[in-house]
């Protein structure tokens, strides 16, 4: 494919799919990896992450041919549009990419570019690991108990974006359908109203829960927890839970049991070789994350619950500057930090680049570069443990040295060289 708005690097080659059934990749030693630095602090954390990832790749005998892509303000300036087709196509073609945050206006203006990217590329699982790095200040007593990965559905629920604004013909049409045709005429208050629709499908649920269970099995985890608000939203969130359990019976009967089976057949003691799939109601789950942190290992949930839960879990292990993420489709990965573009800090060389750097670790693991990923993690942990940190962590610890974004990246690269 040729691009109008993207320069193809003069070294490196494409990652290809070795086996469409298993999603196994064929990764060259110098893969072309698309990168979007992003809006706001993306201009700070993007280059910092690139520098660290380059160092880790080189230290493990590889290199990355970065392909700069544009979205958000950088795309508007250069191409006059928010999300050029070339950006979407280049990610699709190269299979593994990384992006910084993109700004979304609240209330009016264009819809989220992050949502658009995830939908256009059908990146249906947003994966957010939350684990503790030694030395990171935390608001809880035992942050090391947190070692959890959240699989958040990325295409349905509030991300479907099906909503109508107050005062429009559309909302009036939907309102009269709800009241007159569906019989909810006592329910809705008079006056301006906004209406949204929350779709949850069996297809969307099962492919998300499948990714969570496959991850748990491949990574020797003991439990997968389906998080939902099915007591209130019975036919959407309740159905998510039921379809999740149905999948266990249909596809994982020999390797996984449900919580009911755990008690009925095994008296609460799971056999060593069996994964337990259980479920929790979302509000209870949020408090259990604080009170029974180490009981939760892999979470599978819908979009909005997953957003709240993973940010709250992220706070327990040091905040948004630390929390990495990645979006996965079939044979496709787009890594990105959990945090947003924090416009007030943009271009100040101040914020913490750890979240974007550790998102790069997820990308490396997707390529099968686990050694490079481990090196990134160890170097970040080592720098933080020695008290060399950016402002966000520095304000929470005694002593320590406050570094800028670029100084912190340099400190990590130094440690990569020492550790390699």
Binding ligand NAP (rule: CB under 6 A), the pick from 121, 200, 209, 351 is: 351
The 3 state secondary structure assigned to 374-389 is: HHHHHHHHHHHHCCEE
Binding ligand NAP (rule: CB under 6 A), the pick from 87, 103, 130, 211 is: 103
Binding ligand NAP (rule: CB under 6 A), the pick from 336, 365, 381, 388 is: 336
Least spacing, CB of residue 134 vs ligand NAP, in Å? 19
Give CA torsion, residues 233, 235, 241, 242, to 10 deg. Answer: 150
Q: Considering beta carbons, is residue 27 or 334 the nearer one to ligand NAP? A: 334
- 384: contact with ligand NAP by CB under 6 A: no
Binding ligand NAP (rule: CB under 6 A), the pick from 73, 114, 303, 310 is: 114
- 321: contact with ligand NAP by CB under 6 A: yes
- 285: contact with ligand NAP by CB under 6 A: no
- 352: contact with ligand NAP by CB under 6 A: yes
Left, alpha or beta for 40 (phi > 0: left; psi -120 to 50: alpha)? Answer: left
How far is the C-alpha of 187 from the C-alpha of 87, rounded, in Å?
45
- 119: contact with ligand NAP by CB under 6 A: no
Q: Following DSSP, what letter does each residue of 37-82 receive, concatenated? A: --STTHHHHHHHHHHHHHHHHHHTT---EEEE---THHHHHHHSSS
Is 112 annotated among the ligand-binding residues? yes
Is 152 annotated among the ligand-binding residues? yes
Least spacing, CB of residue 182 vs ligand NAP, in Å? 33
Is 89 annotated among the ligand-binding residues? no
Question: E strand or H helix at 298, and its extent?
Answer: strand 298-301
Residue nearest to ligand NAP (CB): 340
- 392: contact with ligand NAP by CB under 6 A: yes
SS3 content of the chain, % helix, strand, coil (to 5): 45, 15, 40
Catalytic residue status for 159: yes
Least spacing, CB of residue 375 vs ligand NAP, in Å? 21
Q: Considering beta carbons, is residue 209 or 320 the nearer one to ligand NAP? A: 320
Using DSSP's 3-state secondary structure scheme, residue 122 falls into coil
- 360: contact with ligand NAP by CB under 6 A: no
Q: Following DSSP, what letter does each residue of 222-248 receive, concatenated? A: SEEEEEE-TTTSTTTHHHHHHHHHHHH
Q: Are 228 and 284 in contact (CB under 8 A)?
A: no
- 46: contact with ligand NAP by CB under 6 A: no
- 339: contact with ligand NAP by CB under 6 A: yes
Catalytic residue status for 307: yes
Binding ligand NAP (rule: CB under 6 A), the pick from 48, 342, 357, 412 is: 342
**Residues binding ligand NAP: what is the number (CB under 6 A)?**
18
User: In this structure, how many other beta carbons lie within 10 angstroms of the beta carbon of residue 72?
Assistant: 26
CA 20 to chain centroid, in Å, comes to 23
Least spacing, CB of residue 76 vs ligand NAP, in Å? 14
Least spacing, CB of residue 116 vs ligand NAP, in Å? 11
Q: Which residue has the tokens 């992003």?
A: 38
Nearest to 245 by CA among 257, 228, 262, 236: 257
Least spacing, CB of residue 333 vs ligand NAP, in Å? 15
Q: Are 230 and 281 in contact (CB under 8 A)?
A: yes
Is 92 annotated among the ligand-binding residues? no
Q: Are 216 and 224 in contact (CB under 8 A)?
A: yes
Of the residues 39, 44, 86, 307, which is catalytic?
Answer: 307
Is 344 annotated among the ligand-binding residues? yes
- The Cα-based distances of 89 to 3, 42, 48, 100, 368 in angstroms read 9, 21, 25, 18, 23
Catalytic residue status for 214: no
Q: For residue 274, give both structure tokens.
A: 């069996």
Interface positions with ligand NAP (CB under 6 A): 41, 45, 101-104, 114, 320-321, 336, 339-342, 351-352, 355, 392
Catalytic sites, residue numbers:
159, 229, 283, 307
Feature table: binding site: 103, 112, 114, 118, 128, 152, 307, 339-345, 352, 391, 395
């Amino acid at each position: 494919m040729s691009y109008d708005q993207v320069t193809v690097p003069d070294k490196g080659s494409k990652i290809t799919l070795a086996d469409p059934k298993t999603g196994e990749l064929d990764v060259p030693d110098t893969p072309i990896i698309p990168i979007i630095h992003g809006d706001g602090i993306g201009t700070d954390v993007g280059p910092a992450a690139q520098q660290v990832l380059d160092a880790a790749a080189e230290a493990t005998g590889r290199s990355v041919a970065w392909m700069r892509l544009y979205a958000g303000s950088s795309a508007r300036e250069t191409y006059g549009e928010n999300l050029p087709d070339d950006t979407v196509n280049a990610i699709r073609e190269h299979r593994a990419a990384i992006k910084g945050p993109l700004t979304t206006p609240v209330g009016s203006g264009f819809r989220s570019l992050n949502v658009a990217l995830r939908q256009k590329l059908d990146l249906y699982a947003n994966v957010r690991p939350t684990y503790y790095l030694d030395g990171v200040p935390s608001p809880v007593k035992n942050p090391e108990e947190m070692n959890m990965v959240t699989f958040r559905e990325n295409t349905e629920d509030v991300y479907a974006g099906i909503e109508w604004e107050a005062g429009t013909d559309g909302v009036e049409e939907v309102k009269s359908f709800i009241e007159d045709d569906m019989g909810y005429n006592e329910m809705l208050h008079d006056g301006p109203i906004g209406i949204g629709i929350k779709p949850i499908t069996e297809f969307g649920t099962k492919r998300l829960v499948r990714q969570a269970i496959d991850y748990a099995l491949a990574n020797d985890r003991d439990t997968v927890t389906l998080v939902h608000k099915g007591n209130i939203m019975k036919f959407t969130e309740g159905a998510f839970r039921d379809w999740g359990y149905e999948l266990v019976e249909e596809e994982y009967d020999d390797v996984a049991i449900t919580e009911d089976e755990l008690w009925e057949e095994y008296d609460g003691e799971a056999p060593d070789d069996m994964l337990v799939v259980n479920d929790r109601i979302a509000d209870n789950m949020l408090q259990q994350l604080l009170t029974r942190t180490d009981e939760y290992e892999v979470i599978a949930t819908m979009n909005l619950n997953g957003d709240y839960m993973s940010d709250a879990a992220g706070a327990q292990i040091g905040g948004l500057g630390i929390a990495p993420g990645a979006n996965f489709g079939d044979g496709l990965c787009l890594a990105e930090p959990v945090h947003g573009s924090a416009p007030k800090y943009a271009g100040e060389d101040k914020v913490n680049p750890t979240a974007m750097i550790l998102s790069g670790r997820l990308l490396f693991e997707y390529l099968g570069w686990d050694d490079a990923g481990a090196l990134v993690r160890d170097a970040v942990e080592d720098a933080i443990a020695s008290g060399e940190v950016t402002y966000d962590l520095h304000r929470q610890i005694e002593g320590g040295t406050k570094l800028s974004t670029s100084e912190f990246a340099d400190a990590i690269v130094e440690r990569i060289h020492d550790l390699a």
